[in-house]
Amino acid sequence: MSQTPISPQAQSLIETVKSCKGQFVRVEYKTNVKTAAAHKDVTITKLVNGIFRTGIDYANKASVKAAIASGERGEVQPLSWGEWAVFPWIIIHKGAEYVRLYPVSHATAKPEVRYTISDPKRASGFTENWPATKDEVGPYLTQGDKAKLFAEDREVPECITKKLVDVSIIGCWHNETSQEIIDAELGGF
């Protein structure tokens, strides 16, 4: 159901994940972290490497069906922004392509998160893209964002949407893990 022409990068992503069992893929993506106003000239990049699903219909996820059945949530609604270019992979919004990803919630599949900081005012050493820990990132954030960063009970979202230019599909995940984790994500225990 292609409504909008897509880039070669988007087409390549779709072709890659179609060959993955259950569309479990190892993904790396980057996002820029919003800093406090006092640090507007500082760039913090969050790099995430983890296992995600893609190419599935959100409404068909076992957890979503269970939440609807129990009354915890209503029926799945259309996209609140953008439009599907190629359902259920690629969303187009204001000329940019996005990929919808579903984090794997199994305890042994937590994503690896790294940070880099570029601070032109840093007194010593590297000023651009130096590796940083959460403790080093924290002082650059607003109090609210800092609290979120260090929250231990942060829920894993059902799905996330990332700009395609910031995403790399590294390969099929089922080659790296056990059938137990795949079965748990698919709703069978």
Examine residue 111 and state whether it is found in any structural domain, yes or no.
Answer: yes
- Please state the domain count of the chain: 1
Reported as a single tens digit per residue, the pLDDT across 3-33 is 678 999 899 888 888 877 667 888 999 999 9
Residue 168 lies in a domain: yes
| Domain annotation covers residue 3 | no
In a domain, 2, yes or no: no
pLDDT above 50: residue 188: no
Q: Is the pLDDT of residue 189 over 50?
A: no
**Average pLDDT of every residue of the chain:** 85
Residue 39: name the closest of 148, 109, 138 by CA. Answer: 138
What does pTM read for this prediction? Answer: 0.81
Question: Residue 76's domain spans which residues?
Answer: 8-185
**pLDDT tens for each residue of 110-122:** 889 999 999 888 7
Residue 189 · residue 106 · CB < 8 Å: no
pLDDT single digits (tens) 126-170: 677 889 999 999 999 999 999 988 887 777 788 999 999 999 877
Burial 12-48 (b: 16+ CB within 10 A, else e): ebbebbeebebbbbbbbbbeebebeeebeebbbbebb
